[in-house]
Amino acid sequence: MRDAAARKWVEEDFWPREVQTYTFVPPGKAGPEGGERTVIGEEVEYRPEKGDTFFDLARYFGLGYNELVDANPGVDEWIPGHFEKPVIVPHEFILPNGSYEGIVVNVPEMRLYYYPPAKGGPRTVVTFPVGLGREEWKTPTGKFSVREKSVNPTWVIPESIRKERIADKGYSETSIAGGDPQNPLGKYRMRLTLDLYGIHGTNIPWGVGMLVSHGCVRLYPEDIEKLYPMIPVGTPGAFVYQPIKVGMRDGRVFVEVHKDLYGMKPGMYRETRTMLERQGLMSLVDEELLRAAALAQTGMPVDVTLGARSAGRVAAPSLRDADAESHEAAPSSPMDVPDAIDREVLRPAPGSAARGGVQGSPGGRPGVEHMAPTDVRLPSRATVEEARRPLTADPR
């Protein structure tokens, strides 16, 4: 029987999550015979409990708030456990089309992909959710490279943002010191050759998966700490705007459709058809499935191959059960199971970090210097509705 007490999330619950590294095969020649495998990961279902919110669950599972909302239409993000209904954890992604090198930030998806340099073995990618620029401070598109990295950076406030802060809140400071809880850059920052833009942490983790910044890319504190040492100065990158992605896996065709956040891609269905025709895949596609996927815009890969049937999702245990079941579900070595690198790993229950251990942190608990400056704080409903407005096309 479920414990009647509501779960109390604490900051240490989010730090043990390890980086998932996925293998993939980039496109070769056009058509299904090219051997492409650009759909990675796997969806699972999770049984929410009293005390869970989408903000906590998104961060725990390495997702943006937007990804849980889009994958679970009609579910109350504040009390998802109220109706005893599983929620979808959308841990499956189609890689954005491109060169599959360096850093790629897909703006409509609000997700960052990093492709480490190939060293003769299988191609790999890691991916993280991000928060991006508000409607009036759009994150741009274009190529860049990482030109500088810094720890505990001081935020020198651009004059345009300073004027906004004075008008909105009466804040007139010209800079905020590194390590200050009010510094929106967090602990780590990577400055880009696109002037005034960067990739950094955040002092408001709930904003990941929302349009909340002045154009920069914000990551969860625990994610930027993992990504930062992976990226050398000079790493190339690109901001792309791909609300529609097409991918292949095992000879089957998938499409992934996101909301057009900045209103730059009208006609989603028509655009999706054009992309499939360009890649020589339209003859393999069920048009009814394609039309449904284009309209639903769930942000999840959908198998649109002729004759496709739902294979069903992997059911994830509740977090209270995960600690007891993980030893049965996980192989003794990642290489014991073919393609294990693409499989979901059951995560430990909240509060079990000290038992399970965290890589690079003695005893499993992150050190004080790694912890956010406060306990887990959630925004008010009014704040969320204001931030979500561009995501829901609310005209207010």
- CA distances to 35, 249, 279, 296, 306 from 284, rounded to whole Å, are 15, 13, 11, 21, 6
Nearest to 297 by CA among 254, 276, 268: 268
Number of Cβ within a 10 Å radius of residue 355: 12
Do residues 89 and 43 touch, judged by C-beta distance below 8 A?
yes
Catalytic residue among 216, 258, 327, 370: 216
Phi-psi label, residue 35: left if phi above 0, alpha if psi -120 to 50, beta otherwise: left
Please enumerate in sequence order all residues whose Cβ is within 8 A of that of 55, keeping only pairs 6 or more positions apart, or say none. 65, 77, 206, 378, 379
How far apart are alpha carbons 199 and 146 in whole angstroms?
Answer: 9
Residue 256 token pair: 């992934």
200 is catalytic: yes
Q: Which of 91, 200, 214, 258 is catalytic?
A: 200
Distance CA 276, CA 283 (A): 9
Longest CA–CA span in the chain (Å) reads 61
Question: 91 an active-site residue?
Answer: no
Task: Give the C-alpha separation, 82 to 68, whole Å.
Answer: 16
Q: At what angle do helices 268-278 and 287-296 cross, to 10 degrees?
A: 130
Distance of CA 336 to the CA centre of its chain: 28
Which residues belong to the active site? 200, 216
